[in-house]
C-alpha cells in the first residue's frame, strides 16, 4: 500500500458497512438482525441502517418469510470477478516458497498443460543434497505424485488418453491395467493427497503432492514436495504432509473453492 493511500482520508461509514457485509460472508449462512449486530459489535438499530443500504445496493438481500439477511445478487458476480482476476500462479509461487522454508524440502508448483502436468517453478531447500526439478517439464501421470493428482481430479475424458498411452509405453511398472490405475486414483481422492516412492526422476526420490481447487471446485494447480529417501520424512504423520495440505487448502480458499 502506498504512503499516499495510507495517509488519505477514507469514508468511515463505508468501512463500517463493509464490516457488516463481512459478517455475512464469514457466517456461511443467512442471519437474523440481532446475530449480525452481535457479530459486528454494534447496536441492532445501527446494524439495520447499514443493512438497508446494503440491500438497496444488491450486496445483501432479506428473506421476507423469515426476515433473515444473506448475500444478495450483486455479491455473486462481484466475487466471481475478483476470483477471475487473481493471478493463481503468482499466489502459488509465493506459497511454495513459504512451504520450502517451513519444511526445508524441495517444493514445486504445477499446472495442467497440453500434454499433462507441467512444472512451473521449484524452490530449492537450504541444504547441500537436493532434488533438481526441471521447470517446463511435462511429468508422468502415473509415475509422479503430481501426475496422479491431476489424473485423479481432472475430467476422465481429458486424462484417459494420456493414461492409456503411458500404460502402453510402460512408464510405470506399478500399473498394467486401467483398473489398477483407477484403484490408486480413488485412494488419492480419498486421502486428499498423493505419495509416490519411485517417480520420474529417480528410485531414490519421494514425491508428495496436494491439489489446489478453483472457485468451480476443479483442480487448477498442484503443490508438491520432492524429497530424498532416507533423508526426508514425507510420511502420514510428517510435518511435510501437514504443511503441504495446509498450503494447498489455503490456496484453494483464496481461489474461491468451497471443497
Residue 59 belongs to some domain of the structure: yes
Same domain, 75 and 134: no
Same domain, 93 and 206: yes
Residue 7 belongs to some domain of the structure: yes
Separation CA 153–CA 26 (nearest Å): 28
Is residue 146 within 8 Å of residue 139, measured between CB atoms? yes
Range of the domain at 156: 87-254
Same domain, 111 and 206: yes
Average pLDDT by stretches of 10, the chain with 259 residues: 51 88 84 94 94 93 93 79 68 92 92 85 78 75 93 94 88 86 96 81 80 92 89 88 96 89
Could you tell me which of 227, 185, 193 has the C-alpha nearest to residue 210? 193
Domain count, the chain: 2
Query: Which of the listed residues 16, 50, 83 is the one where a domain comes to its end?
Result: 83
* The pLDDT value given to residue 1: 44
* The pLDDT value given to residue 2: 45
Residue 186 belongs to some domain of the structure: yes
Same domain, 118 and 227: yes
Could you tell me which of 144, 214, 83 has the C-alpha nearest to residue 133? 144
Query: Which of the listed residues 58, 83, 108 is the one where a domain comes to its end?
Result: 83
Residue 29 belongs to some domain of the structure: yes
Q: Identify the burial level of 173 via C-beta atoms within 10 angstroms of its C-beta, where 0-12 means exposed, 13-18 middle and 19 or more buried.
A: exposed
Question: Domain holding 35: CATH number?
Answer: 1.10.10.10
Same domain, 100 and 79: no
* The pLDDT value given to residue 83: 54
Question: Domain holding 248: CATH number?
Answer: 3.30.450.40
Same domain, 195 and 219: yes
Residue 21 belongs to some domain of the structure: yes
Phi-psi region of 251 (alpha: psi -120 to 50; beta: other; left: phi over 0): alpha
Same domain, 236 and 166: yes
Residue 259 belongs to some domain of the structure: no
Is residue 222 within 8 Å of residue 212, measured between CB atoms? yes
- 113 DSSP β-pair partners: 116
Same domain, 53 and 100: no
Same domain, 107 and 12: no
Same domain, 68 and 128: no
* The pLDDT value given to residue 89: 83
Could you tell me which of 43, 47, 45 has the C-alpha nearest to residue 19? 47
Residue 216 belongs to some domain of the structure: yes
Same domain, 146 and 224: yes
C-alpha cell at 210: 496436494
Residue 221 belongs to some domain of the structure: yes
> Would you call 210 helix, strand, or coil by DSSP?
strand
Query: Which of the listed residues 83, 102, 136 is the one where a domain comes to its end?
Result: 83
C-alpha cell at 7: 495517509
Same domain, 101 and 203: yes
Separation CA 245–CA 149 (nearest Å): 13
Query: How many CA atoms lie within 13 Å of 16's alpha carbon, on the beta-carbon side?
Result: 14
Amino acid at each position: 500500500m502506498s504512503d499516499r493511500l495510507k495517509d488519505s482520508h477514507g469514508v468511515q461509514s463505508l468501512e463500517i458497512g463493509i464490516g457488516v457485509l463481512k459478517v455475512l460472508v464469514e457466517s456461511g449462512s443467512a442471519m437474523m438482525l440481532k446475530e449480525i449486530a452481535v457479530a459486528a459489535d454494534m447496536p441492532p438499530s445501527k446494524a439495520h441502517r447499514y443493512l438497508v443500504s446494503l440491500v438497496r445496493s444488491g450486496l445483501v438481500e432479506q428473506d421476507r418469510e423469515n426476515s433473515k439477511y444473506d448475500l444478495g445478487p450483486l455479491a455473486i458476480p462481484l466475487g466471481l470477478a475478483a476470483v477471475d482476476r487473481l493471478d493463481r500462479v503468482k499466489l502459488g509461487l509465493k506459497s511454495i516458497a513459504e512451504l520450502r522454508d517451513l519444511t526445508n524440502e524441495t517444493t514445486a508448483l504445477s499446472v495442467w498443460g497440453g500434454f499433462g502436468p507441467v512444472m512451473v517453478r521449484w524452490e530449492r531447500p537450504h541444504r547441500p543434497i537436493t532434488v533438481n526439478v526441471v521447470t517446463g517439464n511435462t511429468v508422468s501421470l502415473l509415475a509422479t505424485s503430481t501426475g496422479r493428482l491431476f489424473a485423479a481430479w481432472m475430467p476422465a475424458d481429458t486424462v484417459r488418453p494420456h493414461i492409456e498411452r503411458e500404460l502402453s509405453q510402460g512408464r510405470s511398472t506399478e500399473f498394467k491395467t486401467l483398473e489398477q490405475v483407477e484403484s490408486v486414483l480413488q485412494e488419492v481422492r480419498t486421502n486428499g493427497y498423493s505419495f509416490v516412492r519411485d517417480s520420474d526422476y529417480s528410485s531414490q526420490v519421494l514425491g508428495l503432492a496436494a491439489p489446489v481447487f478453483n472457485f468451480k471446485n476443479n483442480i487448477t494447480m498442484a503443490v508438491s514436495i520432492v524429497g530424498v529417501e532416507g533423508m526426508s520424512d514425507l510420511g502420514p504423520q510428517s510435518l511435510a504432509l501437514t504443511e503441504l495440505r495446509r498450503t494447498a487448502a489455503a490456496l484453494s480458499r483464496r481461489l474461491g473453492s468451497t471443497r
